[in-house]
Structure 1
Amino acid sequence: MNVHFFCPRWGQEHTPWKEFLQHVKVAGYQGVEASLPVEDDERDLLLNELATQGLQFIGQHWETVCANFDQHYSEFEHRLQALAAARPLFINSQTGKDYYSVDQNEKLIALADSIAAQTNVPVIHETHRGKFSFAAHTTRTYLDRLPNLRIALDISHWFNTAETFLHDQPEAVALAISRTDHIHCRVGHTEGPQISDPRAPEWQEAVQQHLDIWDRVVDLHRQNDRSSCTFTPEFGAPPYMFLQPYTCQPVVNQWEVNSYMMELLRKRYDSD
């Protein structure tokens, strides 16, 4: 099984696409995970440069945030259709709202399924605070009700939301692992979605809790003869990243931390 790593655009928006993608290629990533630029010229530049560099593309959807459901539904459809037209490997969507009803969120998931069927571009749904998938126990409800629902697992959000490492919810975690197609490998903790530095000794318990979950996903992929397992090291920019008081300078370099996570997991998993 191949283990592929995707570089997040998040935090690197100031870097022109061509320069950014050159850095991504040199760093050893297999592709990028990013939303699609709105402007035609910038979108074409991105897609052309991805082809030039031989990089894969995971489409990322997060922009639909309006509270009104009908407007939300329309914007969600438009954005997913635009992403699918770019022919990504798949679309990773932050879907719905934590305050929408189950019926409303399921309508959005059904819309994503319909677009995936029409375009032959899979759509999976990221576990994320503020979305239908904001917590382990609520996501379990959707996974039980929708047997074809697939997810991008970012367990850091669930640790934060539950204020535990979820040892008291093993059934919900096991079900989520069984439906995981992609992993966001940011490390969070029980009081926040991102630790300051995964290399620091004081955070090794949190790192290990995440590794234990990711190990189980990778093992299941191998048992199921999956050809690849995809990761996005997603330590993010401020306010996720810790800043020094008063000076507001980052305590670590985001690019370096994500590169560290990629190399850590490549050594751990890329043995086939």
Structure 2
Amino acid sequence: MNFHFFCPRWGQEQMPWKEFLRLVKAAGYQGVEAGLPVENSERDILLNELAKLGLQFIGQHWETVCSDFDQYYSEFEKRLLALAAARPLFINTQTGKDYYSVSQNEKLIALADSIAAQTNVPIIHETHRGKFSFAAHITRMYLDRLPNLRITLDISHWFNTAETFLHDQPEAVALAISRTDHIHCRVGHTEGPQISDPRAPEWQEAVQQHLDIWDRVVALHRQNDRSICTFTPEFGAPPYMFLQPYTRQPVVNQWEVNQYMMEFLRKRYENFTNL
């Protein structure tokens, strides 16, 4: 099984696409995870440079944030269709609202399924605070109701929402692992969605809790003879990233932390049979 790592655009938005993608390639990533630029010229630069550099593209949807459901539905459809037209490896979407009804969120999931079937681009749904998938026990309900629902697992959100490492919800975690197609490798903790630095000794319990989950996903992918396992190291920019008080300077370099996580996980999983 091959392990492919994708660099997030998040935190690097001010960097021109050509410069950003060349850094991504040089750093050893296999591709990028990003939304589409609004301007057609920027979009063309992105797609042309990806092809030129041999990088893969995961389309990321997060922009639909309006509260009105009908407006959300319309914007969601347009954005997914635009992403699918770019022919990404797949689309990862932050879908719905935690305050929408189950019926409303299921309509959005059904719309995504329809667009995936229409365009032949897989669409999977990220576990994320504020979305339909904001907590383990709630997502379990949707996974039980919708047997074809597939997810991007960002377990940091669930640890934060539950204020536990979910040892009291093993069934929900196991079901989520069984439906995971992609992993977001940010490390959170029980009081926040992101630790300051995964290299620091004081955070190793939180790191290990995430590794235990990711190991299980990788093991299941291997068991199911999947040829590729995909990861996005996604330590984020402020306000996710800790800042020094008063000066508001970042306590770590976001790019370096994500590259560390990529290299750490690549080494770990290339030697996975020895774990």
TM-score by length of 2: 0.98
**Shift, 1:270, TM fit:** 2.1
* Corresponding residue number in structure 2 for 1:179: 179
**2:225, 2:52 → 1: CA distance?**
31
**Shift, 1:61, TM fit:** 0.1
Matched, 1:121 2:121: yes
**1:66, 1:172 → 2: CA distance?**
29
Matched, 1:219 2:222: no
Matched to 1:96, the amino acid is G
Aligned length: 272
1:138-149 aligned within 5 A: 138-149=138-149
**1:16, 1:60 → 2: CA distance?**
18
Matched, 1:246 2:246: yes
1:43-122 aligned within 5 A: 43-122=43-122
* Corresponding residue number in structure 2 for 1:258: 258
**1:228, 1:50 → 2: CA distance?**
19
**1:55, 1:207 → 2: CA distance?**
28
**2:115, 2:95 → 1: CA distance?**
14
**Shift, 1:145, TM fit:** 0.2
RMSD over aligned CA atoms reads 0.6
User: Deviations 1:139-179 (Å, cap 9, x if unpaired)?
Assistant: 00000000000000000000000000000000000000000
Q: Structure 1: state its 5+ residue gaps.
A: none
Instruction: Give the percent of matched residue pairs that are identical in Structure 1 and Structure 2.
Output: 89
**1:116, 1:270 → 2: CA distance?**
31
**Shift, 1:38, TM fit:** 1.1
Runs of 4+ in 1 over 6 A off after TM superposition: none
Q: Secondary structure at the match of 2:125?
A: strand
* Corresponding residue number in structure 2 for 1:130: 130
Q: Secondary structure at the match of 1:7?
A: strand
**2:270, 2:229 → 1: CA distance?**
10
**Shift, 1:271, TM fit:** 4.0
Q: Secondary structure at the match of 1:250?
A: coil
* Corresponding residue number in structure 1 for 2:25: 25
User: Deviations 1:192-238 (Å, cap 9, x if unpaired)?
Assistant: 00000000000000000000000000000000000010000000000
TM-score by length of 1: 0.99
* Corresponding residue number in structure 2 for 1:270: 270
Matched to 1:169, the amino acid is Q
Matched to 1:201, the amino acid is P
User: Deviations 1:220-258 (Å, cap 9, x if unpaired)?
Assistant: 000000001000000000000000000000000000000
**1:254, 1:236 → 2: CA distance?**
7
